Structure 1
Amino acid sequence: MTTIIPAAATLEGKKGLVLGIANDQSIAWGCARAFRALGADLAVSYLNDKAKKFVEPLAHQLEAEIFEPVDVTGEGELKAMFDKIGEKWGKLDFALHSIAFAPKEDLHGRVVDCSREGFQQAMDVSCHSFIRMARYAEPLMKDGGSLFTMSYFGANRVIDNYGVMGPVKAALEASVRYLAAELGPKGIRVHAISPGPIKTRAASGIAHFDELMNKAAERAPEGRLVTIEEVGYTTAFLATDGAKGITGDTTYVDCGYSIIG
C-alpha cells in the first residue's frame, strides 16, 4: 500500500538552518534529523575547529548544503551564515536556535551571587543571539517561516541547581512572545520548545543533573524521560504548513512533567 503524506505534513522544498549541533546526543541533532526526514534541505553550523570533527559527519548524514562555523560571540559569524544562505538559497523557511551557555561559577552558585559579567554572557549567548538570529532571518523569510529556540521548565518554576539559567530562559520565552507579535504580520511564526531533561553535553554542566533526570522520570505521567527524536519530530511538525495556526507559545515535550508542578 502506498503511503501518501499530506502536503501540510511535509517539509519538501523547504530550506532550514540548524544552529547548535554539538554531537549525536544533541537536541539540535534530533531536530535536524526530523527536518531532513520530512524533506527539508539544511544548513548546519559548528562552534569551532574542535567541534567540527564531531559535527561534520552528522552534517554529511543530513546532506547539509551549507556547513559553516558559527560562534554567536564571534564578531560577524552569525551574520556570515545568513549571508551564505542568502547567496546560495536566496530564502529561508525555518531556523532553529539550540544554543545556551553560562559560566560554571555562575551556573553552580545562587542567582543572588551571580556576577554581572556571567549574567550578561549567559543572556547574550542564550537569549540575545536568538533575537539576532530572528533579525537576520526576517529578510530571507519572504514567504513566511518559522523560528525555534530551546527553553526549559526552569523558566517558569524554580528548579534545583538550574540557577541563573532560569531567569535567562524566562527572558528567552518572553522574547519569543514579542518576536511572534512583531513578525506575525509577515507570516513568520516563533516558537519556544521546552523539552524535559535530556542528557546532552550542555546539560552536563548543571550540578546534580543525574538526580534532576531521575526525579523528572519519576514524576512525569509517562514515567520516563523524553528523547531527542521526540523533541525533533514535534519541532519539525511546527515547521510544516499544518502548524500555521500556532505561534508565540512554549511547547512542552516532556512526557507530561510540566503539568505536575
Structure 2
Amino acid sequence: MNIPVYPETSVALKGKKGLIVGIANDQSIAWGCAKAFRALGAELAVTYLNEKAKKHVEPLAKALEAPIFMPLDVMAEGETEKVFERVGKEWGQLDFLLHSIAFSPKDALHGRVVDVDRAGFQKTMDVSCWSFMRMAHLAEPLMKNGGTMFTMTYYGSQMVVKNYNVMGVAKAALEAAVRYIAAELGPKGIRVHAISPGPLATRAASGIPEFDELMDKAQSQAPTRSLVSIDDVGKATAFLALDGAKLITGSVLYIDGGYHIID
C-alpha cells in the first residue's frame, strides 16, 4: 500500500491536519481521498465504524501514518464528540474534514419513497445528512485559520435515478445543508463542498439494486466514456483543500466524466 508522491507538490498540504470519516476498506472513496491528502503532505486522523470494520481500516490508517485512529458510529451517543475532543486536545486545530458516510435501512432504501416509514426516514437522514451538520458544528471552532469541509453526494439528489429512492431525498437535503453551512462559515474562511462522483463499485453502492446496469450506463453515456476511480475522486477533492481553491465554496463538484450534463 504505497502512498503516491506527487513531484513538486508533495508539501502543498504540509502542516495541515485533516479528519477522514468513512473509510471501510481499500475500495472506499474516503480511502482514495485520504491517499491524495497524505500524498500532498497532510497529517490525518482516521475513524472506523466498529470492531468488525477495524481490521479492514487499521492497515490503511497505518499506511497513512495516522496518529489518531478511533471508532466513530454517528448513531452511538457521544462518539462523534469524542473524536473531535481528541482532535482538539492533540492537534488544537483542524484544517479539513471529510465526511464520506451514508446509510439507509434496507426496507427504506429498496422501497418507494412514498412508502418509507418514519423510522427508516429518520435513520437515513440522521446518518446521511444530520451527521455532516453535526460534524461541521464541532469542526468550526477547530478551524481557527479557516479550512475545508467535504461531504459525498450523488446525481440521484437532482434527478430521479432508478433504485436510488430515499437516498436521493437525503442527498438533496445534504446538498442544501452544504449551501447553508458554506454561507454561514464563509466569513471565517471555511469552505464547504459536496463531492458528487459517478457510480463507483464501493461497499456502500452494493446495497443499491441493479447497480451494475447503472455503471454500464454511466460508462457508455459519459462524455469521457470512462468510469471514475477512487483515486480520480481523491485527487480532485484534495485540490479543493489547497489554498489555490480558497474562493471555491458551497457548490456540488461532479467527478463523473461529465455524465451529469447528458440527457
TM-score per shorter chain, which class? over 0.9
User: 2:4: which partner in 1?
Assistant: none
User: 1:107: which partner in 2?
Assistant: 109
For residues 128-186 of structure 1, give each alpha carbon's deviation from its aligned partner in whole angstroms, at most 9, with x where no partner exists: 00000000000000000000000000000000000000110000000000000000011
- Aligned equivalents of 1:55, 1:106: Cα separation in 2: 28
Q: Which amino acid aligns with 2:58?
A: E
TM value normalised by structure 1 = 0.97
Alignment check: 8 A CA contact 2:100 2:151 kept:
yes
- Aligned equivalents of 2:67, 2:260: Cα separation in 1: 37
- Aligned equivalents of 2:8, 2:222: Cα separation in 1: 34
2:9 equivalent to 1:5: yes
Say which of 232, 235, 244 aligns to 1:233.
235
Aligned-residue offset at 1:5: 3.4
User: 1:147: which partner in 2?
Assistant: 149
Aligned-residue offset at 1:231: 0.2
User: 2:173: which partner in 1?
Assistant: 171
User: 2:252: which partner in 1?
Assistant: 250
For residues 194-246 of structure 1, give each alpha carbon's deviation from its aligned partner in whole angstroms, at most 9, with x where no partner exists: 00000000000001111111111111011111000000001000011010010
- Aligned equivalents of 1:112, 1:216: Cα separation in 2: 27
Partner SS for 1:148: strand
- Aligned equivalents of 1:159, 1:229: Cα separation in 2: 24
Say which of 194, 197, 210 aligns to 2:196.
194
TM value normalised by structure 2 = 0.96
Aligned-residue offset at 1:4: 3.5
- Aligned equivalents of 2:259, 2:36: Cα separation in 1: 23
Partner SS for 1:5: coil
Q: Superposed, which structure 2 residues align to 1:56-71 within 5 Å?
A: 56-71=58-73
- Aligned equivalents of 2:119, 2:208: Cα separation in 1: 19
- Aligned equivalents of 1:4, 1:226: Cα separation in 2: 25
- What is the RMSD computed on CA atoms of the aligned residues? 1.0
- Aligned equivalents of 2:8, 2:104: Cα separation in 1: 45
Partner SS for 1:13: coil
Alignment check: 8 A CA contact 2:10 2:39 kept:
no
- Aligned equivalents of 2:199, 2:8: Cα separation in 1: 34
C-alpha spacing 1:211/1:4, structure 2 compared with 1 (3 Å): closer
User: 2:220: which partner in 1?
Assistant: 218
